Amino acid sequence: MNRNSGNAILAFLVGAAAGSIAGILFAPDKGSNTRDKLSYRLHKYRQSLEDLLDDLVSERNGAFSEAKSHGEKVVNDAREKAEKLLEDVDELLSHINKKTDN
What are the pLDDT digits (tens) for 46-94?
A: 888 888 877 777 776 666 677 777 788 888 888 888 888 888 888 888 8
Q: Please give the Cα distance from 87 to 76 (Å, whole number).
A: 16
Please report the pLDDT score of residue 21 as a whole number. 78
More confident position, 40 or 64 = 40
Q: Is the pLDDT of residue 97 over 60?
A: yes
Q: Please give the Cα distance from 33 to 36 (Å, whole number).
A: 5
Please report the pLDDT score of residue 78 as a whole number. 86
The band of 3, judged by pLDDT with boundaries at 50, 70 and 90, is low
> What mean pLDDT is predicted for residues 15-29?
77
Q: Is the pLDDT of residue 7 over 70?
A: yes
The sign one gets for the Cα dihedral 57, 63, 66, 72 is negative
How many CA within 13 A on the CB side of residue 49? Answer: 15
The band of 102, judged by pLDDT with boundaries at 50, 70 and 90, is low
pTM: 0.39
